[in-house]
């Protein structure tokens, strides 16, 4: 004959096992939902990393660069656009 205490413990352990299995199933469903949500975010955002600006590089929009790769003009601290060499020289003189 089985011990009633052992029988109760066995039933309790079986119950706990079923609860654990349910929690695992729920967690797997939530994981799948998050994966689908993450995939949809990529679809909405697009593949922006592979896009190039008008100058052909990966610079922010509005950054100006000639086809030779040298700066043609730049904005100074007031926002005025001047030749890049001039702005660079002014910044360097302030750093000295």
> Can you tell me the distance from the alpha carbon of 1 to that of 66, in angstroms, rounded to the nearest whole number?
92
Which of the two residues, 65 and 11, has the higher pLDDT score?
11
- 59 within a domain of the structure (yes/no): no
Which of the two residues, 6 and 52, has the higher pLDDT score?
6
- 5 within a domain of the structure (yes/no): no
- This prediction's pTM: 0.39
3: left (phi over 0), alpha (psi -120 to 50) or beta: beta
Find the domain containing 21 and state its range: 12-41
Which of the two residues, 25 and 70, has the higher pLDDT score?
25
- 34 within a domain of the structure (yes/no): yes
- 28 within a domain of the structure (yes/no): yes
Beta bridge partners of 81: 75
- 2 within a domain of the structure (yes/no): no
- 18 within a domain of the structure (yes/no): yes
Q: What is the CA radius of gyration of the chain?
A: 32
- 72 within a domain of the structure (yes/no): no
- What pLDDT, in 10s, does the model give residues 39-69? 776 665 555 555 555 555 555 555 554 444 4
- 20 within a domain of the structure (yes/no): yes
- Domain count within the chain: 1
């Amino acid at each position: 004959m089985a011990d009633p205490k052992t029988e109760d413990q066995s039933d309790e352990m079986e119950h706990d096992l079923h609860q654990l299995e349910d929690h695992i199933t729920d967690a797997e469903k939530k994981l799948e939902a998050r994966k689908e949500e993450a995939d949809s975010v990529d679809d909405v955002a697009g593949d922006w990393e592979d896009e190039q600006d008008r100058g052909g590089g990966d610079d922010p929009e509005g950054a100006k660069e000639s086809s030779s790769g040298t700066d043609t003009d730049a904005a100074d601290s007031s926002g005025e656009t001047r030749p890049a060499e001039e702005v660079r020289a002014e910044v360097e003189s302030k750093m000295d």
